[in-house]
Amino acid sequence: MTKKILKIVGIVIVLLIGILLAAPYVFKEQIKAKITQAINEKVDAKVTFADADLSLFKNFPNANVTIKKLVIINKAPFEGDTLVSLGELNLQLSIKELFKGEKEVVNIDGITSKNGLINIIFNKEGIANYDIALKDDKTQDDGKSKPLSLKIQNYKIENFKFRYFDESSKIKMTIDSLNHEGIGDFTAQKLDLNTRSTAKIVLSMDKVNYMKNVSISLDAVLGIDLKNGKYTFKQNKALINQLPIELDGFIQMVDGGQEYDLKFKTPTSSFKNFLGLIPAAYSSSLDNVKTNGDFTVAGFVKGLYSDKTVPKFNIKIASNNASFQYPNLPKSVRNIVIDTKIINKTGILNDTYVNIDKLSFAIDQDIFNAKANIRNITENALVDAALKGTINLGNLSKAYPIKLSKPLSGILKADVTSKFDMQSVEKSQYQNIKNAGTVSLSGFKYVDKNGKAMTISNALVQFNPSNINLKQFNATTGISDISVTGVLENFYGFIFKNQELKGNFNMNSKQLAVADFMTTGKETKTQAKKAEAMKIPAFLNCKLTAKANTVLYDNLTLKDVSGKLIVKDEKVTLENVKSSIFGGTIGVNGAVSTKGKVPVFNVNLNLNQVDIAQSFTQLDMLKKIAPIAGIINGKINSTIKINGNLDAMELTPDLNSLTGDLLGQLLSTTINSQNSTLLNALGSNLKFIDMNKVNLNDVKAALTFKDGKVNVKPFDIKYQDIKATIGGSHGFDQSMNYNLKFDVPVKYLGTEANALIAKLSSADASKLQSIPINATLVGNFTNPKITTDINSAVTKLTTQLVNQQKNRMVKQGTSALTDYLNKNKKPSDTTKTAVQKEDIKTKAADLLNGLFSKKKKTEEPKTP
């Protein structure tokens, strides 16, 4: 009996497991249909999801429905904007809910979601993109179509991003890394919801940033009245960075918006509260910090938030005669006074104003004061500010645990007042801007993590109404020195309105090493992979006129460098840049642009009296274009037009992308063929030329290059009385294919040919002064393959000479024989007989054989 019971129990368990495993497949399509129906009947938007899965094990004994990649896309007037995107949405429900009919309500007990985005937009007309509920009253009122019902006991969201943008007020807020969960019985009309939240906030208005990555956390019990839409803060603990805040009051949903009645304050008045307000990236542990004085934040928010109004609010931030000192640091910050108010008395956003009536502190004998007033913030912000004081930068890290790899040093002094409105800044109406005063920096020294130091001996900035004048800037780094003066024409527009930074500067240097302003190259491979491509800043619109006695770049030394650089639209234009190098001068005009995905350049180079061997061996670009030039001694005048891509990390030319042309004229040149495999091989094949005696003076050459291949237009050179024409192509990979054509005097072709020519008449000999010789060069510059037609040319010439000799002798023999016969012919004979003609032929043949036989026959004695 027991065995039967166990057997039955085992069968039941197996069946249950089988049902649990099979159920997801049985109910999957039903669940997907319910979800689709619920969405389509509720919203006017484009909704998609990748899949919906059912699991009976994930939240056993409850079922779990997972919806993957749920996306809601707006229709007009926000066509194409993403309202909601959820990486994963999980719905928890009782297993019995799976067995309900098609028209029965399915109750949802819990919701969790991961990797989500919620994007809220208000356009200029005040219309919100989240208002996507269908406006069909029948669907809303008859209550017959409710396939899903929320009876939530808990919910949780992980790694969400919430974006908010109001086009009319230009308020932009991002809540990132949002994690939030709540536990409560939503089936009740009134409940206490226990919540935990963490996030980072970015807040800006009209391109002015007010909060950047401010960490917040809130553990709160919210009293929720679902019937009246009222949310009351009960037990709560909030942190802004590390600043504790307590909340009291409520938020209620009403017709036309939300009603706020909130009060907040710091739970204590310790000055540690202020240190806690500093972002974690710039702060340190507050344990064992000695503080005196107080710091408080208090205020209220009360009123209606709607399309036209904001709640009235008053926020006060205050501290009086406070001080702090961190353990293990030698200096303290004293006499701290903070008196700041952020107030709105009317409920109209533009009436908000910020008063920083006083911000003051002292370190040792150095005192720094600041104050500012900002009004009319949404329409045309009015700013009135002043800075005055001295800061010893070396004392900052001695008084506050700043995270620096190397300590700073230097004295910063400021005495500046500024009064302006944003519209005048935006429109460059300098007559409405009132600036005055100076900021100076002396003895500044900064050492980066790789040990590279920058020292600014002195810098002086003068504030004027129309511009900011850099009166002085003298700095050294490595073995380089620079001195810069000039003006910034649009400083406030750059700071407050993200406009271009316009300027005009002059720079002088005795010695400038480019490597001093580059990375050291000590990065690991991992760091190198993470390094960003070099980009010319898009915000720069300035001109720089530069002069330098010496510029060191890689292995090159440039002297007397001068020229103008124009930076605009992510491009640097070089105008009349000149330098003395390689015994001559190089001029550069052109541009470098990093605006596209791949940086590009397009420049014209003018080489004047430049040493050929140095320039074409030390510059990789020229070495690839004309590798043979490295064995030529002398000077060159050349114009080179060249364009191509640049390496994105170092902005050096990508040689395989080069396109352009080169025109050059050689001056006072000789050839050094000793170290050239190519010229040695060429000399071995063309015995009639001594390569070291080839004259290249005033030779002009033209070539073009593209896709790693150089084409050389045929050009002429002369060696003694030999003329040569050279043309062909080679690759940046050192492969080559050249044709050489020589017009060679026959005197260079050996004794046999010259002996034959000597037998010719002067008239015939003059027609054979030279013959063409062709040579072909293939392979590569280090392993050339050379072929010539010199043997066939000599053979052809010899045959031609022999034929000319035969023809001459035949004519001479025929003429002599005719004369002989005519002497013995009677006057009365007027015709030739056939016997006479045949006799003439025979005698002529005998004569030719005698002339060209190697040995003359012995004459037979005459018959007496």
pLDDT tens per residue, range 686-716: 777 777 777 778 888 899 999 889 999 998 8
Task: Report the pLDDT averaged over residues 273-297.
Answer: 78
Residue 429 banded pLDDT, cuts 50, 70, 90: confident
* Residue from 383, 381, 363 nearest 371 by CA: 383
For the chain, the average pLDDT equals 80
| Structural domain contains residue 460 | no
Q: Are 497 and 422 in contact (CB under 8 A)?
A: yes
**18-24-26 Cα angle (round to 5):** 85
Is the pLDDT at 13 greater than 80? The verdict is no
Q: Is residue 314 part of a domain?
A: no
Q: In the listed set 806, 821, 844, which residue is the last one of a domain according to the structure?
A: 806
Tell me, yes or no, whether 30 lies in a domain.
yes
Hey, which residues does 743 pair with through a beta bridge?
723, 772
864 occurs within a structural domain: no
What percentage of the chain exceeds 90 in pLDDT? 31
CA distance 84 to 87: 10
- The number of angstroms, rounded, from the C-alpha of 398 to the middle of its chain's C-alpha atoms is 38
Summarised one tens digit per residue, pLDDT across range 145-177 is 455 555 678 889 999 999 999 888 788 889 999
The answer to whether 511 and 549 have CB atoms below 8 angstroms apart is: yes
Structure tokens at 28: 């999957």
The token duo for 182 is 């709540």
SS3 at position 361: strand
Contact of 777 with 738, CB cutoff 8 Å: yes
Closest CA to 578 of 562, 595, 566: 562
DSSP symbol at 515: G
108: its two tokens:
């949802």
Q: Are 248 and 264 in contact (CB under 8 A)?
A: yes
Q: DSSP character for 368? A: E
Out of 126-130, 276-280, 565-569, pick the least confident.
Answer: 276-280
Least confident of 222-231, 534-543, 689-698: 689-698
**Residue 141: is its pLDDT beyond 70?**
no
Return the C-alpha torsion angle 283, 285, 288, 292, nearest 10.
Answer: 30
Q: Does 8 score more than 60 pLDDT?
A: no
Residue 317 lies in a domain: no
Query: Any bridge partners for residue 437, and if so which?
Result: 416
Evaluate whether 191 touches 207 at the Cβ level (below 8 Å). no
Tell me, what's the pLDDT at 229?
87
The structure tokens 């000999």 sit at: 765
C-alpha 772/C-alpha 723 separation (Å) is 10
Hey, which residues does 203 pair with through a beta bridge?
A: 173, 211
Find the mean pLDDT for residues 729-740. Answer: 89
pLDDT of residue 815: 58
What does the angle CA 438 – CA 439 – CA 443 come to, to the nearest 5 degrees?
Answer: 135
User: Average pLDDT of 10-28?
Assistant: 44
* Range 537-551 average pLDDT: 91
CA–CA separation, 398 and 688 (whole Å): 83
Residues paired with residue 537 on neighbouring β-strands, in sequence order: none
d(CA 358, CA 338): 6
Weakest mean pLDDT among 3-17, 177-191, 611-625, 788-802: 3-17
| d(C-alpha 610, C-alpha 631), whole Å | 15
E strands in 74-147:
82-93, 106-122
Distant-in-sequence contacts of 705-712, Cβ < 8 A, 24+ apart: 705/625, 705/658, 705/659, 705/660, 705/661, 705/662, 706/658, 706/659, 706/660, 707/656, 707/659, 708/655, 708/656, 708/658, 708/732, 708/733, 710/625, 710/626, 712/738
Candidate ranges 299-313, 415-429, 608-622; pick with highest mean pLDDT: 299-313
Pick 776 or 285 by higher pLDDT.
776
Can you say whether residue 744 is alpha, beta or left, with left for phi > 0 and alpha for psi between -120 and 50 degrees?
A: beta
89 vs 387: which has the higher pLDDT: 387
Residue 850 tokens, joined: 């005698």
Two tokens at 128? 């919100």
Residue 107 placed within a domain: yes
Please provide the size of the chain in residues.
864
pLDDT of 369 higher than 80: yes
Beta strands in 489-599 (DSSP E): 501-513, 540-553, 556-568, 571-581, 584-593
97 part of a folded domain: yes
Domain-ending residue, one of 776, 806, 836: 806
- Dist CA 143 CA 137 (whole Å): 11
CA-to-CA distance for 272 and 292, rounded, in angstroms?
A: 9
Q: How many domains is the chain built from?
A: 2
pLDDT band at 864 (very low <50, low <70, confident <90, very high): very low
CB atoms within 10 A of CB 769: 13
* Gap between the Cα atoms of 180 and 193, Å rounded: 12
DSSP class of residue 508?
E
User: Looking at the predicted structure, is the pLDDT value of residue 456 above 70?
Assistant: yes
Segment 109-119 shows an average pLDDT of 89
| Domain assignment present for 561 | no
556-568/409-421 β-pairing: unpaired
536 against 266, higher pLDDT: 266
Q: Is pLDDT larger for residue 839 or for residue 262?
A: 262
- Residue 137 confidence (pLDDT) above 60: no
Inform me whether the pLDDT recorded for 5 exceeds 50: no
Counting other chains too, the contacts that 162-169 makes at CB distance below 8 Å and 24 or more residues apart are 162/117, 162/118, 162/120, 163/117, 163/118, 163/119, 163/120, 164/120, 164/121, 165/120, 165/121, 165/122, 166/122, 167/121, 167/122, 167/123, 167/124, 168/122, 168/123, 168/124, 168/126, 169/205, 169/349, 169/378
- Range 307-334 burial, b when 16+ CB lie within 10 A, else e: eeebbbbebebbbeebbbbbeeeebbbb
Query: Which residues span the domain enclosing 154?
Result: 1-134+147-168
pLDDT at residue 353 in the model: 94
Question: CA nearest 315: which of 285, 292, 338, 286?
Answer: 338
Q: Which residues pair with 571 in a beta bridge?
A: 568, 593
CA dihedral 89, 95, 96, 100 (to 10 degrees): 40
Tokens of 194: 């226990």
3-state secondary structure of 862: coil
Q: Would you tell me how many other CB atoms lie within 10 Å of the CB of residue 149?
A: 13
Query: How confident is residue 844, by pLDDT bands cut at 50, 70 and 90?
Result: very low
Q: Classify residue 17 by its DSSP letter.
A: H
pLDDT tens digits, 510-530: 998 887 876 544 444 444 444
